[in-house]
Amino acid sequence: MINEMLMLGNLNCPTCAAKLEKAAQALPGMKSARVVFGAGSLNVEYDPHILSQEKIRNLCRQMGVDVVAVVPGRNS
């Protein structure tokens, strides 16, 4: 499992945040996905065999959200 925190550049409306969270959770291989609106981040835990950071970034792009930085977390 890989843990990552994606810092989002333009997450301005709380509804978009909820929408992004739902869409991220629906990705195959995603174990958990949480959008922290205050911090403007998407915290994900996923199986690297099924899902990749690139795919998550693509999803963000599709939803019109910029990923400005990725902070790797502790892998388990």
In whole angstroms, what is the distance from residue 1 CA to residue 51 CA? 10
- Given 7, 21, 53, 57, the residue binding another protein (CB under 8 A): 7
Shortest spacing between CB 75 and another protein, in angstroms: 7
8 Å CB contact between 70 and 53: yes
Burial of 49 (0-12, 13-18, 19+ CB in 10 A): exposed
Does 27 help bind another protein (rule: CB under 8 A)?
no
Residue among 41 and 51 whose Cβ is closer to another protein: 41
Q: Contact positions toward another protein, by CB under 8 A?
A: 5, 7, 9-15, 19, 34, 36-41, 43, 68-69, 71-75
